[in-house]
């Protein structure tokens, strides 16, 4: 049985879900961002316990089909931007559509309707958060970061970074109190 979990956007969240499942005595087959596949069907009592346990950690068990689709889209984007070494070289709309096996026009319409922003805006917000993270590590220069993050140039990255944050990447790097946003809040 496949379960969808809202706000499950990091490795820490996966550990929380794993602990919640163990606490209730449920065994999982697959545990991925936003989803967990358990071996058996849930009883109503187990579903309620899992729901309450997840809520205490800021996670939420989902039932609504549109909400589940939105979470799948968000998790694909988060995994693509934050947990891969290099972004795919294909068009993001093709990548997301292929991963979900759904028409991109349909996906983007529902996403915009529910989230109030486009998928592209969501991707940009996450790319900028990833750029902030890479700037904080101070292991790569801006040219390397722009290549990894699939920007056409350093100028394009800098322009987008400034548009989203109000700061240039170099000024951000110099700040003592560098503000990053938690993935679930982007």
- Kindly report, residue by residue over 18-35, the tens digit of the pLDDT: 999 999 999 999 998 888
**Could you tell me what percent of the chain has a pLDDT over 90?**
62
> For position 83, what pLDDT does the model report?
85
The confidence band for 11, taking pLDDT boundaries of 50, 70 and 90, is confident
Mean model confidence pLDDT for the chain: 90
Domain boundaries, the chain: 2-63, 66-186
Asked if the model's pLDDT at residue 185 lies above 80, the reply is: no
Could you report the per-residue pLDDT of 128-173, keeping only the tens digit for each?
999 999 998 889 999 999 999 999 999 999 999 999 999 999 999 8
CB 61 within 8 A of CB 5: yes
The confidence band for 67, taking pLDDT boundaries of 50, 70 and 90, is confident
Could you report the per-residue pLDDT of 119-129, keeping only the tens digit for each?
999 999 999 99
* Record: fold of 2-63: Alpha-Beta Plaits (3.30.70)
Could you report the per-residue pLDDT of 80-113, keeping only the tens digit for each?
998 887 777 778 999 999 999 999 999 999 999 8
Q: How is domain 66-186 classified at the architecture level of CATH? A: Orthogonal Bundle (1.10)
> For position 88, what pLDDT does the model report?
77
> For position 73, what pLDDT does the model report?
95
> For position 37, what pLDDT does the model report?
92
> For position 176, what pLDDT does the model report?
64
Taking residue 65's Cβ as centre, other Cβ atoms within 10 Å add up to 10
Mean pLDDT of 49-67: 89
Asked if the model's pLDDT at residue 178 lies above 70, the reply is: no
> For position 4, what pLDDT does the model report?
87
């Amino acid at each position: 049985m496949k379960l969808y979990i809202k706000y499950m956007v990091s490795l820490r969240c996966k550990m929380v879900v794993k602990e919640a499942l163990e606490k209730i005595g449920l065994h999982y087959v697959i545990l991925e961002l936003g989803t967990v596949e358990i071996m058996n069907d849930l009883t109503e009592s187990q579903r309620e316990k899992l729901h309450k346990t997840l809520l205490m950690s800021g996670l939420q068990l989902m039932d609504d089909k549109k909400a589940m689709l939105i979470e799948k889209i968000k998790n694909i984007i988060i995994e693509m931007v934050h947990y891969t070494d290099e972004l795919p070289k294909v068009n993001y709309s093709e990548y997301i559509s292929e991963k979900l096996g759904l028409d991109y026009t349909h996906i983007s319409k529902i996403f915009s309707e529910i989230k109030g922003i486009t998928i592209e805006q969501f991707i940009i917000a996450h790319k900028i958060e990833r750029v902030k993270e890479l700037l904080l590590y101070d292991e790569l220069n801006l040219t390397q970061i722009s290549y990894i993050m699939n920007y056409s140039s350093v100028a394009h990255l800098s322009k987008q970074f400034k548009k989203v944050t109000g700061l240039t990447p170099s000024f951000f790097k110099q700040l003592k109190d560098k503000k990053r946003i938690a993935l679930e809040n982007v």
